[in-house]
Copies of this chain bind each other. A is one copy, B any other.
Amino acid sequence: MKKFVLTLTLLMILSASLLYAGTEDGAGSQTFYPAGSQKSFKGPLDFFTGDVQVDMLFPSNETAHYSGAYVTFQPGARTAWHYHPVGQHMIVTDGVALTGTRDGKIVTFKKGETVWCPPDIDHWHGATPDAPMTHLVITGTKDGRNVIWKEKVTDEQYLGK
Protein backbone atom coordinates (compact mmCIF):
# COMPACT_ATOMS: atom_id res chain seq x y z
CA MET A 1 0.00 0.00 0.00
CA LYS A 2 2.85 2.36 0.93
CA LYS A 3 4.52 1.64 -2.40
CA PHE A 4 1.26 2.32 -4.23
CA VAL A 5 0.81 5.70 -2.50
CA LEU A 6 4.42 6.62 -3.31
CA THR A 7 3.96 5.68 -6.98
CA LEU A 8 0.69 7.64 -7.12
CA THR A 9 2.36 10.70 -5.55
CA LEU A 10 5.25 10.54 -8.03
CA LEU A 11 2.78 10.22 -10.92
CA MET A 12 0.85 13.26 -9.66
CA ILE A 13 4.04 15.34 -9.39
CA LEU A 14 5.08 14.25 -12.89
CA SER A 15 1.64 15.12 -14.33
CA ALA A 16 1.70 18.51 -12.62
CA SER A 17 5.16 19.33 -13.98
CA LEU A 18 4.13 18.29 -17.50
CA LEU A 19 1.01 20.44 -17.24
CA TYR A 20 3.18 23.31 -15.99
CA ALA A 21 5.56 22.92 -18.94
CA GLY A 22 2.63 23.03 -21.35
CA THR A 23 1.23 26.31 -20.12
CA GLU A 24 3.87 28.37 -18.31
CA ASP A 25 6.76 27.55 -20.65
CA GLY A 26 4.42 27.97 -23.59
CA ALA A 27 6.27 25.44 -25.72
CA GLY A 28 4.32 24.65 -28.85
CA SER A 29 4.15 25.66 -32.42
CA GLN A 30 2.74 28.62 -34.26
CA THR A 31 1.10 28.21 -37.68
CA PHE A 32 2.89 29.83 -40.64
CA TYR A 33 0.98 30.68 -43.84
CA PRO A 34 3.74 31.19 -46.45
CA ALA A 35 3.33 33.23 -49.65
CA GLY A 36 1.51 31.18 -52.29
CA SER A 37 -0.03 28.76 -49.77
CA GLN A 38 -3.44 30.49 -49.76
CA LYS A 39 -5.89 30.87 -52.66
CA SER A 40 -5.66 33.85 -55.05
CA PHE A 41 -8.41 34.45 -57.60
CA LYS A 42 -10.26 37.06 -59.65
CA GLY A 43 -13.53 38.26 -58.12
CA PRO A 44 -16.29 36.28 -59.96
CA LEU A 45 -18.43 38.45 -62.28
CA ASP A 46 -21.64 37.31 -60.50
CA PHE A 47 -20.51 38.99 -57.30
CA PHE A 48 -18.27 41.84 -58.52
CA THR A 49 -18.33 44.66 -61.08
CA GLY A 50 -14.99 45.39 -62.77
CA ASP A 51 -11.53 43.96 -62.11
CA VAL A 52 -11.13 42.58 -58.58
CA GLN A 53 -8.31 40.41 -57.21
CA VAL A 54 -8.73 38.36 -54.00
CA ASP A 55 -5.61 37.10 -52.19
CA MET A 56 -6.42 35.00 -49.13
CA LEU A 57 -4.07 35.50 -46.17
CA PHE A 58 -5.29 32.98 -43.58
CA PRO A 59 -8.34 30.76 -42.96
CA SER A 60 -10.53 30.75 -39.85
CA ASN A 61 -9.57 28.18 -37.23
CA GLU A 62 -11.15 26.55 -34.16
CA THR A 63 -10.21 29.50 -31.92
CA ALA A 64 -10.41 32.48 -34.30
CA HIS A 65 -13.70 32.37 -36.22
CA TYR A 66 -12.61 34.77 -38.94
CA SER A 67 -10.48 34.71 -42.08
CA GLY A 68 -8.21 37.37 -43.59
CA ALA A 69 -7.72 38.44 -47.22
CA TYR A 70 -6.39 41.28 -49.34
CA VAL A 71 -8.91 42.44 -51.94
CA THR A 72 -7.73 44.81 -54.69
CA PHE A 73 -10.18 46.78 -56.86
CA GLN A 74 -9.24 48.57 -60.09
CA PRO A 75 -10.84 52.02 -60.68
CA GLY A 76 -14.66 51.79 -60.70
CA ALA A 77 -14.67 48.18 -59.46
CA ARG A 78 -16.87 47.16 -56.52
CA THR A 79 -18.61 44.20 -54.90
CA ALA A 80 -22.28 43.33 -55.44
CA TRP A 81 -24.66 43.96 -52.55
CA HIS A 82 -24.05 41.38 -49.81
CA TYR A 83 -24.07 40.89 -46.05
CA HIS A 84 -21.88 39.05 -43.56
CA PRO A 85 -23.65 36.84 -40.96
CA VAL A 86 -21.04 37.76 -38.31
CA GLY A 87 -19.75 41.06 -39.70
CA GLN A 88 -16.55 42.27 -41.37
CA HIS A 89 -13.69 44.70 -40.75
CA MET A 90 -12.25 46.48 -43.81
CA ILE A 91 -8.81 48.09 -43.36
CA VAL A 92 -7.57 50.14 -46.34
CA THR A 93 -3.90 49.35 -47.05
CA ASP A 94 -3.55 51.28 -50.33
CA GLY A 95 -5.60 54.06 -51.90
CA VAL A 96 -9.12 55.26 -51.06
CA ALA A 97 -12.14 52.99 -50.51
CA LEU A 98 -15.89 53.49 -50.77
CA THR A 99 -18.54 51.48 -48.91
CA GLY A 100 -22.31 51.94 -49.16
CA THR A 101 -25.43 50.77 -47.31
CA ARG A 102 -29.14 50.56 -48.28
CA ASP A 103 -29.88 53.91 -46.62
CA GLY A 104 -27.85 55.55 -49.42
CA LYS A 105 -24.97 56.47 -47.11
CA ILE A 106 -21.51 56.09 -48.69
CA VAL A 107 -18.40 56.20 -46.47
CA THR A 108 -15.07 57.24 -48.02
CA PHE A 109 -12.04 55.92 -46.13
CA LYS A 110 -8.31 55.86 -46.86
CA LYS A 111 -5.09 53.97 -46.12
CA GLY A 112 -4.85 53.19 -42.39
CA GLU A 113 -8.57 53.66 -41.79
CA THR A 114 -11.09 50.92 -40.94
CA VAL A 115 -14.84 50.42 -41.36
CA TRP A 116 -16.78 47.76 -39.41
CA CYS A 117 -19.89 46.33 -41.03
CA PRO A 118 -22.13 44.69 -38.37
CA PRO A 119 -23.82 41.30 -38.96
CA ASP A 120 -26.69 41.08 -41.46
CA ILE A 121 -26.29 44.63 -42.82
CA ASP A 122 -26.39 44.89 -46.63
CA HIS A 123 -23.32 46.73 -47.94
CA TRP A 124 -20.98 47.06 -50.90
CA HIS A 125 -17.34 48.19 -51.11
CA GLY A 126 -14.87 49.10 -53.79
CA ALA A 127 -12.46 51.57 -55.34
CA THR A 128 -13.21 55.17 -56.34
CA PRO A 129 -13.95 55.71 -60.07
CA ASP A 130 -10.43 57.00 -60.81
CA ALA A 131 -7.89 55.02 -58.73
CA PRO A 132 -7.20 51.45 -57.59
CA MET A 133 -7.68 50.43 -53.94
CA THR A 134 -6.53 47.54 -51.74
CA HIS A 135 -8.08 46.66 -48.40
CA LEU A 136 -7.44 43.88 -45.92
CA VAL A 137 -10.72 42.31 -44.85
CA ILE A 138 -11.27 40.32 -41.67
CA THR A 139 -14.53 38.41 -42.10
CA GLY A 140 -16.35 36.49 -39.37
CA THR A 141 -17.46 32.91 -40.10
CA LYS A 142 -20.43 31.03 -38.62
CA ASP A 143 -21.44 27.49 -39.60
CA GLY A 144 -18.97 27.65 -42.49
CA ARG A 145 -20.55 30.78 -44.07
CA ASN A 146 -19.14 34.29 -44.13
CA VAL A 147 -21.06 36.08 -46.91
CA ILE A 148 -24.52 36.10 -48.53
CA TRP A 149 -24.48 37.61 -52.02
CA LYS A 150 -27.30 39.68 -53.59
CA GLU A 151 -27.74 41.77 -56.76
CA LYS A 152 -25.11 43.97 -58.45
CA VAL A 153 -24.59 47.59 -57.43
CA THR A 154 -25.86 49.92 -60.18
CA ASP A 155 -23.82 52.89 -61.42
CA GLU A 156 -26.39 55.20 -59.76
CA GLN A 157 -25.97 53.46 -56.37
CA TYR A 158 -22.16 53.42 -56.75
CA LEU A 159 -22.01 57.11 -57.66
CA GLY A 160 -24.56 58.03 -54.96
CA LYS A 161 -26.95 59.63 -57.45
| Chain A residues near B (Cβ < 8 Å) | 23-35, 55, 57-58, 61, 63-64, 66, 68, 70, 81, 83, 86-87, 89, 91, 93, 99, 101-103, 105, 107, 109-110, 112-123, 136, 138, 140
> A102-B27, A114-B57, A114-B68 in contact; A63/B87 too (CB < 8 A)?
yes
Contact call B28/A103, Cβ cutoff below 8 A:
yes
Q: Which residues of B contact A35 (CB under 8 A)?
A: 110, 112-113
Known: A35-B112, A63-B140. 7 other contacts (CB 8 A): A26-B122, A29-B103, A30-B123, A34-B109, A57-B91, A57-B112, A136-B136
> A64-B89, A87-B63, A118-B63 in contact; A101/B32 too (CB < 8 A)?
no
